[in-house]
């Protein structure tokens, strides 16, 4: 981490960048927040550890409007989002100085708490430099332990890989974290009967409180004004009823980001109700891969997105239900 801070200070000092976008230590062991640092002194609060899950690429939309370059720290998966934003002309590559930072999987405080660990005072083993496989958690109610992997965000278990897709320089080592099949969960649902599928999603979505955290955290949901906030479709209802609105919202949201979603997992990370929202996006990713050829949004800034592309012999919609 010191290496990162030193480099940031250098780049600030030599005028390469006007500010630094990174994470600032929180007041609890697990709540660092995205933050701008304007000078070397401020960087004393800089932190980069296992709880820095937030994808900073979306913040670069606003940062692109500022004077001068912004130094931004991106994890390997964040760089896909950044590329996608370049493709959509939402960020200015020239305004960004990207340091790709290593990643050994990001932690999910919800998982730690779900394991019954509460009253947390400190957490050891979450530093990027730690090689520890186990988190040592000091709580008011005694010392607890949890395997690092068990506390990892879902997305890290199906990691796309630790290669940065876009950067100016790289700092820090990464560790492979993929230990699950990307589409395993989707396949499990696909194998259900329609009644089971419906019950599953009804159950999950009835938790939705329409807080829009998924949307607002999503780097692909970067519309200046969301269609669900505008009058264009008469769709700004905001009601929390357990029948249809959530489904409409989540299906359309997934559809709007289909072919653009890099599967960064922010939607599921931020959902206060723990709805596995990535299951929507990942279903589209799986369909696109199967029907139109493998496609990874954000791998480049040029290729045609699957929904703005076609081939003459694409599958017919009637293929739905015919596939195994």
Which residues within the stretch 274-303 sit at the binding site for other proteins (CB under 8 A)? 274-275, 280, 283-284, 287-288, 291-292
Q: How far apart are the first and last CA of the chain?
A: 48
Does residue 112 touch other proteins according to CB under 8 A? no
| Interface positions, 63-82, toward other proteins (CB under 8 A) | 65
Q: Which of 229, 289, 299, 300 touches other proteins (CB under 8 A)?
A: 229
190 contributes a contact to other proteins by CB under 8 A = yes
Which ranges of the chain would DSSP assign to H, the alpha helix? 2-13, 59-63, 76-87, 109-114, 154-157, 184-190, 194-205, 213-217, 245-257, 266-270, 278-292
Residue among 147 and 244 whose Cβ is closer to other proteins: 244
- CA–CA dist 230, 236 (Å, integer): 6
Residue 157 as a binder of other proteins (CB under 8 A): the answer is no
CB of 176 to other proteins, least distance (A): 27
Among 94, 142, 312, 324, binds other proteins (CB under 8 A): 312
User: DSSP secondary structure string, 159-181?
Assistant: ---S--SS-SEEES-------S-
Interface with other proteins, residue 201, by CB under 8 A:
yes
Selected from 39, 184, 197, 293, the binder of other proteins by CB under 8 A is 197
Based on the shown chain and the rule CB under 8 A, indicate whether residue 203 belongs to the binding site for other proteins: yes
Using CB under 8 A as the binding rule, whether residue 321 contacts other proteins is answered as: yes
Out of 131, 191, 209, 293, the residue judged to bind other proteins by CB under 8 A:
209
Which is nearer to other proteins, 14 or 234 (by Cβ)?
234
By CB under 8 A, tell whether 192 contacts other proteins: yes
Comparing C-alpha atoms, which of 218, 197, 278, 208 is closest to residue 247?
208
2 binding other proteins? (CB under 8 A)? no
Buried b (16+ CB within 10 A) or exposed e, 296-320: bbbbebeeeebeeeeeeeeeeeeee
Nearer to other proteins, 2 or 318 (CB): 318
CA 103 to chain centre: 13
Contacts of residue 6, defined as CB under 8 A and 6 or more positions apart, other chains included, come to none
Ramachandran angles phi, psi of 182, nearest 5°? -55, -45
Residues 236-255 that bind other proteins (CB under 8 A): 236-241, 243-245, 247-248, 251-252, 254-255
């Amino acid at each position: 981490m010191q290496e990162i801070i030193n480099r940031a200070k250098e780049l600030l000092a030599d005028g390469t960048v006007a500010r630094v976008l990174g994470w600032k230590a929180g007041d609890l062991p697990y709540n660092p927040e995205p933050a701008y640092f304007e000078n070397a002194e401020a960087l004393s609060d800089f932190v980069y550890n296992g709880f820095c899950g937030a994808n900073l690429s979306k913040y670069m939309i606003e940062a692109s409007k500022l004077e001068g370059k912004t130094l931004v720290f991106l994890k390997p998966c964040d760089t896909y989002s950044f590329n996608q934003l370049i493709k959509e002309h939402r960020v200015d590559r020239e305004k960004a100085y990207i340091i790709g930072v290593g990643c050994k999987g990001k932690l999910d405080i919800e998982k730690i708490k779900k394991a019954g660990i509460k009253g947390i005072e400190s957490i050891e083993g979450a530093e990027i430099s730690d090689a520890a496989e186990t988190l040592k958690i000091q709580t008011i109610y005694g010392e607890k332990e949890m395997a690092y992997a068990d506390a990892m965000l879902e997305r890290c278990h199906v990691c796309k890989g630790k290669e940065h897709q876009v950067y100016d320089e790289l700092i820090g080592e990464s560790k492979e974290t993929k230990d699950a099949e990307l589409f395993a969960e989707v396949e499990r649902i696909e194998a259900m009967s329609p009644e089971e599928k419906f019950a599953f999603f009804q159950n999950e979505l009835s938790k939705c409180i329409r807080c829009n955290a998924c949307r607002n955290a999503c780097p692909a949901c970067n519309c200046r004004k969301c269609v669900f906030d505008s009058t264009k479709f008469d769709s700004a209802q905001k009601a929390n009823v357990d029948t249809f609105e959530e489904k409409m919202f989540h299906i359309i949201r997934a559809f709007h980001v289909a072919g653009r979603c890099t599967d960064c997992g922010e939607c599921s990370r931020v959902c206060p109700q723990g709805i596995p929202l990535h299951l929507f996006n990942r279903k589209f990713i799986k369909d696109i891969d199967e029907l139109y050829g493998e496609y990874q949004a954000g791998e480049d800034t040029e290729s045609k997105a699957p929904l703005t592309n076609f081939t003459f012999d694409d599958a017919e919609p009637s293929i739905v239900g015919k596939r195994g």
